[in-house]
Amino acid sequence: MMATTVVRMAQPRDVATIVSIVNGYAADSVMLPITMERVALSLDDFVVATDARGRVRACGALKEYSPSLAEVASLAVARDAHGSGIGRGIVAALEELARVRGIGELFALTLTAGFFKAVGYVVTERVRYPEKIRRDCSSCARRFGCAEICVARMLRADTLECAA
Ligand SMILES: CC(C)(COP(=O)(O)OP(=O)(O)OC[C@H]1O[C@@H](n2cnc3c(N)ncnc32)[C@H](O)[C@@H]1OP(=O)(O)O)[C@@H](O)C(=O)NCCC(=O)NCCS
């Protein structure tokens, strides 16, 4: 990641750029499309990366399913900014956000499992996440021919011990 890249929480002024970066990939069926309204309503879950001129070049979001489980969603880096560590930076920021919120497990459904493996995720079975299947997969047009791979990362190995 360039020294001038800043990763920060998303602001209302970032909504249109987030939507345009994500929907650029949705048009190629690489990602699920998002709307301005959905992003605005969940802005507290989005992080963005900006360049030296302050332009938003990438985004990502935490989609929470329970107090301990969230999905890495809407992860996208502008095409001309690929390969310089920005995607890694966005994932690291989402993991930090998850830790602050006490979330111990992250997963993603992705066509780019190689990227997720490079940043510390392991391939797993999507049946581990029935909440995701119910919320998105069951109604998805591609549910019978889905090529997405499920990846996951545990953020905390420590478990709470019960002092009985
Ligand atoms: C996938 C994506 C987020 C990666 O972002 P990026 O900024 O180019 O990735 P980085 O430069 O941070 O790469 C981090 C590591 O992942 C690896 N990597 C990146 N893209 C990869 C890919 N498509 N396949 C395999 N490995 C990949 C890099 O080689 C690097 O590994 P290294 O540090 O060991 O050298 C970006 O290509 C993108 O926005 N793609 C289109 C949308 C998409 O597929 N989003 C994910 C949906 S869940």
Does a structural domain hold residue 159? no
d(CA 81, CA 96): 23
CATH number at residue 150: 3.40.630.30
Q: Which domain holds residue 44?
A: 6-154
Q: CA nearest 9: which of 61, 87, 81, 72?
A: 61
54 lines ligand 1 (CB under 6 A): no
The predicted-structure confidence for 9-27, as pLDDT tens digits, reads as follows 999 999 999 999 999 999 9
Residue 136 neighbours by CB under 8 Å, 6+ apart: 32
Q: Give domain status of residue 134, yes or no.
A: yes
d(CA 42, CA 97): 14
Question: In this structure, are strands 6-9 and 149-154 parallel, antiparallel, or unpaired?
Answer: unpaired
Assigned domain for 30 exists: yes
Residue 30 alpha carbon to ligand 1 centre in Å:
13
Give the chain's domain count.
1
For residue 163, how far is its CA from the centre of ligand 1 (angstroms)?
Answer: 43
Low-confidence ranges of the chain (pLDDT < 70): 157-164
pLDDT at 158: 55
Contact 115/87 with Cβ under 8 angstroms?
Answer: yes
pTM metric for this prediction: 0.94
